[in-house]
Amino acid sequence: MFVLNYCHGGFDGDIVSVEADLRMGIPGIDIVGMADVAVKESAERVRIAVKNSNLDFPKGRVAVNLAPAGVRKEGAYFDLSIAIAILSQHGTIRPNSFKVMVLGELELSGRIRAVKGTLSAVIAGQDAGVDYFIVPEDNYLEACSALAKNIYPCKSLLDAVEKLNALAFHANIAAPRLKLEPQAAAQDMYGDMADIQGQEYLKQALLTAASGHHNIMLFGPPGSGKTMAAQRLVTLLPDLDYEKSIETTRIHSIAGILKNGSGLVGRPPMRMPHHTASLEGIIGGGKNLRPGEISLAHNGILFLDEAPEFHKNVLQSLREPVERHRVDLARAGKNYWYPANFQLVLTTNPCPCGNRGKADSVCVCSNSEVSTYWKRLGGALLDRIDIRIPVRPLGAEDMVLSGSQAKTSAELRQQVEKAYELQKKRFEGTDISFNSNIPPGRIAQYIQLEDSAQEIFSKAVKRFSLSTRACHSVLKIARTIADMVGDTGIKLKNEHILDAVQMRRYGDSDFFRN
């Protein structure tokens, strides 16, 4: 029997072969193959778990090899596979010739504990031609998400041994099958768009950002509602399809944040890291190489509240992932990667004190202090933000409006779904998913302007000194605005360009002059 496990390294990882050899000598277990402390400690856990399961443990010297030897192995999820490899060599498990991937951490009682990264391991096992999968019972629903065959959940070491012996005799053990449905997040976790009173232009900007997957920045005085609005952007996004659910669930499983007994992640994730987060926490990496917040936000939203408060190197590190939709990490002579196709949402005050532009308040910040504050974001990152929206505090008349007058997230999401369908048809057969992803060299293929719209666009470029990337952003936003109103023609009209320029033009605190 070929016992396999999985080593997490980036999004792909490595299949690990677990081999055991028994020989005469002082009783003990030697584990080789670049194993960390947690893996080497499994020797004692395995020995006690085998005895407490009323199984015979070899009396001689046991050598366990984890191959390939050049890949670092870490964590306690090698326990069960090491135990199975030893028992197979000892004869407790009958001889066979099939490949089996064994995942699980052992308690001293022999009970099997859940492990992280089960979905990634099963997907890799499918590609490697694994015949059977032995997984912890708490990870079974997650493992089944890969739609692999012959997945067997086990509660204990003895349960795993009995199943493997039955399979060795070609017994007809039916792997239980489950009806898989993506698990939707609680609808009220991030509120509802109907909670936002007034601010119609802000709502339209959020709807545009959701429809075309555009990055967006909201800036305004404290109490203007920018954080509340940004949190509700995720409620406008449609449910994930199966392929995106698999990708998202896989990353969350690798990171160890997927709850035991969970199936597929069905809703776009919303990640809101604290401003004290480290570079490794945001981008990924670290000693044990884990996905960062940008990967955990894959197929969803990365929300940085009060963005200038984040470390400057953290903010500038977002530039490449925003465009490439992946992050590459080099560690110990090896290159790893994680997907990072997220929608970036930033909020910020107009100045350090926050009072600039606020009625009946005095801003005590000098122009140089305001300039320094905005420079923390950096021009390169700001240029990659398609939509920039100023947010003002509500007036008294807006605050007393009835919530029943505002559209709910569910109603607005239908409009976003229609825009998604138009983009899906438009980009069918290409590597483009949304209007925001149209590469510069192909903009002319999908976006053209009427003569009068071309004239308006040229004037806007000169008046606001728009960079080349900013010009492309205006055109992409205009394409999304046209999709939202069902205008599928390749040529964009005046109103589309005017609305797009209005959403793009702001980028500093000049709007907030006391």
The Cα–Cα gap between 48 and 52 comes to 6
> What whole-number distance in Å separates Cα of residue 10 and Cα of residue 338?
6
Asked, colleague to colleague, whether 2-168 and 193-511 share their fold, the answer is: no
Give residue-wise pLDDT tens across range 170-210. Answer: 665 655 555 555 555 545 578 888 888 878 889 999 999 99
The average pLDDT across 297-303 equals 96
C-alpha–C-alpha distance, residues 133 and 130, integer Å: 7
User: Which segment of 171-180, 254-263, 333-342, 492-501 scores lowest on mean pLDDT?
Assistant: 171-180
**Mean pLDDT value of segment 447-454:** 89
pLDDT grade for 506, boundaries at 50, 70 and 90:
low
Residue 386: predicted pLDDT: 93
> Contact 83/106 with Cβ under 8 angstroms?
yes
Residue 451 has pLDDT above 80, yes or no: yes
Q: What is the pLDDT of residue 397?
A: 61
The region of weakest confidence among 27-41, 209-223, 345-359, 386-400 is: 386-400
> For 35-94, how does the pLDDT look when each residue is reduced to its tens digit (9 = 90+)?
888 899 999 999 999 999 999 999 889 999 999 988 888 888 899 999 999 999 999 998
* Predicted pLDDT at 512: 40
Predicted local confidence at residue 28, as pLDDT: 86
Whether residue 385 has pLDDT greater than 50 = yes
Taking alpha carbons only, the member of 8, 73, 4 closest to residue 34 is: 73
Q: What pLDDT score does 339 carry?
A: 95
Name the class of domain 2-168.
Answer: alpha beta
In the predicted structure, residue 402 carries a pLDDT above the cut 70: no
| Rounded Cα gap, residues 25 and 61, in angstroms | 5
Roughly what angle, to the nearest 10 degrees, separates helices 79-90 and 157-168? Answer: 50
pLDDT at residue 487 is higher than 90: no
Rounded to the nearest 10 degrees, the angle between the axes of helix 200-212 and helix 409-426 is 40
pLDDT of 237: 94
- Indicate the residue type of 331: R
User: Distance between CA atoms of 489 and 119, rounded to whole angstroms?
Assistant: 43
* 137 backbone dihedrals φ, ψ, rounded to 5°: -60, -35
pTM, whole model, 2 decimals?
A: 0.88
| Helix and strand counts by DSSP (H, E) for the chain | 20, 20
Mean pLDDT of 408-421: 93
Rounded mean pLDDT of the chain? Answer: 88
Q: Where are the domains of the chain?
A: 2-168, 193-511
Instruction: Give Cβ neighbours of residue 477 (< 8 Å, ≥ 6 apart).
Output: 208, 212, 214, 386, 387, 435, 499, 500, 503, 504
Instruction: Please count the other Cβ atoms lying within 10 Å of the Cβ belonging to residue 129.
Output: 7
The CA distance from 284 to 335, in Å, is 13
- Single out the residue of 149, 161, 186 nearest to residue 110, CA to CA: 161
Instruction: Name which of 106, 107, 98, 89 is nearest 125 in CA terms.
Output: 98
Distance between CA atoms of 210 and 238, rounded to whole angstroms? 9
Q: What percent of the chain has pLDDT over 70?
A: 92
| Closest among 204, 229, 220, 209 to 473, alpha carbons compared | 209
Write down the CATH number for the domain with range 193-511.
3.40.50.300
pLDDT of residue 147: 83
Kindly tell me if the per-residue pLDDT of 508 is higher than 50: no
pLDDT in tens, 95-141: 888 899 999 999 999 999 999 999 999 999 999 999 999 999 999 98
pLDDT at residue 466, as a whole number: 87
Structure confidence at residue 442 as a pLDDT band (50, 70, 90): very high
Residue 401 pLDDT: 54
Please state, in angstroms and rounded to a whole number, the distance separating the CA atoms of residues 329 and 327. 7
Give the per-residue pLDDT at 510.
Answer: 44
Distance from C-alpha of 480 to C-alpha of 435, rounded to nearest angstrom: 6
Strand partners, 22: 62
332-362: per-residue pLDDT in tens? Answer: 667 889 999 999 999 999 888 888 877 778 8
Residue 505 has a pLDDT of 76
Give the pLDDT confidence score for residue 513 in this predicted structure: 42
pLDDT at 259: 83
**Mean per-residue pLDDT, 273-286:** 92
Q: What does the pLDDT average to over 308-327?
A: 93
pLDDT higher than threshold 70 for residue 453: yes
